[in-house]
Structure 1
Amino acid sequence: MRLRFIFADEDFTATLEDNPTARDLVSMLPLELKIADYSTNEKITYLPRKLTEQGSGRFDNEAVGDLCYYAPWGNLAMFHGPYRWSGGLIRLGRLDQGAKPLLVRGEHPLRVEIFP
Structure 2
Amino acid sequence: MDTRFRAVHVSLSLALVTLAAACSSPPEPTVDDEWDRIRIALIVDGQRLTGTLSDTPAGRDLLAQLPLTLTMTDFGSVEKVAELPTSLSITGAPPGADPAPGDIGYYAPWNDLVLYYGDQSYHDGIVRLGTLDGGVDVIGQHTGDLLVEIEHVGD
C-alpha RMSD over aligned residues: 1.7
Distance 1:32 1:72 in 2: 21
Distance 2:97 2:45 in 1: 31
Give the structure with the larger strand fraction.
1
CA shift for structure 1 position 98 = 4.6
Q: Which moved more, 1:7-16 or 1:63-72?
A: 7-16
Kept after mapping to 1: 8 A contact 2:96/2:126: no
Q: How does 1:49-64 map to 2 (within 5 A)?
A: 49-58=86-95, 62-64=99-101
CA shift for structure 1 position 55 = 4.3
Aligned amino acid, residue 44 of structure 1: V
Q: Give the structure 2 partner of residue 13 of structure 1.
A: 50
CA shift for structure 1 position 104 = 3.0
Q: How does 1:2-41 map to 2 (within 5 A)?
A: 2-41=39-78
Give the structure with the larger helix fraction.
2
Question: For residues 3-36 of structure 1, what are the alpha-carbon distances to aligned partners after superposition, in whole Å with 9 as ceiling and x for unaligned?
Answer: 1111322320111112110011001111122112
Distance 1:76 1:33 in 2: 9
The alignment partner of 1:21 has SS state of helix
Q: Give the structure 2 partner of residue 73 of structure 1.
A: 110
Q: Give the structure 1 partner of residue 28 of structure 2.
A: none
Kept after mapping to 2: 8 A contact 1:64/1:98: no
Question: For residues 38-71 of structure 1, what are the alpha-carbon distances to aligned partners after superposition, in whole Å with 9 as ceiling and x for unaligned?
Answer: 1111111211111111142056663211110000
Q: Give the structure 2 partner of residue 94 of structure 1.
A: 131
Superposed structure 1 runs of 4+ greater than 4 Å apart = 58-61
The number of residues matched between the two structures is 116
**Which entry has the higher C-alpha Rg, 1 or 2?**
2
TM-score (norm 1): 0.89
CA shift for structure 1 position 108 = 2.8
TM-score (norm 2): 0.68
Distance 1:96 1:103 in 2: 15
Q: Which has the higher contact order (CA 8 A, sep 6+)?
A: 1
Distance 1:16 1:36 in 2: 21
Q: Which moved more, 1:65-74 or 1:6-15?
A: 6-15
Structure 2 unaligned blocks of 5 or more: 1-37
**Percent identity of paired positions between Structure 1 and Structure 2:** 34
Q: Which moved more, 1:98-107 or 1:86-95?
A: 98-107
